[in-house]
Structure 1
């Protein structure tokens, strides 16, 4: 006697391809974008493959290099680690969204003036991370390099070279443009 379950019984409880997708809205660079994507799609892939925003780069795809850094609700995040569907309603800013019209963001200008790049692959992530880092320090969030005496103060954290290097340590540059990156951020940091 055949005890193999019927095909209908085997398929019961399985998701169909349509169940693997959702429609949701992300606010990208100030514009609402309604997308229907597979649940496994990362923010990075949504930006690059579905919206044509190629500033954020796929470096390691493991959240270790920072090339994909974007701002999510004003805080820096590795977009390769974020599922797009989980960011419903979030405000995401990419390097393309930092400029105001033809006027570059002050950090974009500083990176150009200081020649804080070589190949440029990591630069969009570096710039987005620097924007987020400056906001974090302005909000009083300390880092490992923040002096003990500054921890008692609820005000902004001063951004000297050591503080900048510590806060930017999640963004790697294979070309080694670190000294110029720090100088560019110092030019803009309050």
Structure 2
């Protein structure tokens, strides 16, 4: 049974709650992550959330998202979710945006997360889990950036915010600088290694 790590406004852990019960109209602040996966051609993997998902079903978004478990390093959590959702083994998982935070609502369900953003690379094709992902595509970074930030974009709200911040790191994802793990929310500090 998966849970989420609940946070105070400073990012300190307050305990945990069953993932199945946390996402409501008044979702408490909790720790999460997002990851953008690139292939050898420097294309980003974009996924469509399964219609079975409670939050943002059927919406296109970044490669993979999830929640670290207690005593699970953040990089291990990213790798675990990529393996579960996409059937992928990740290479070179790097932290890019340690302080990303957002709150969004859709259909009466709220996401409220401190959500560090990572990047990773792969050399295989996804084999999506149908409960998590019902479609995927590889896109050039410029095409994805343009599509996700376009007026009326139908991408997830977190990915729209994240891509704007990632674009500020430079035009080539391979050259984006890694961020220091010390900048992660305090609850994640012990989970980094």
TM range (shorter): under 0.3
Which structure carries more strand by proportion?
Answer: 2
Q: TM-score, normalised by structure 2?
A: 0.27
Q: Decide which structure has the larger Cα Rg and report it.
A: 1
Which structure carries more helix by proportion?
Answer: 1
Q: Give the structure, 1 or 2, with the largest relative contact order (CA under 8 Å, sep 6 or more).
A: 2
Q: TM-score, normalised by structure 1?
A: 0.27
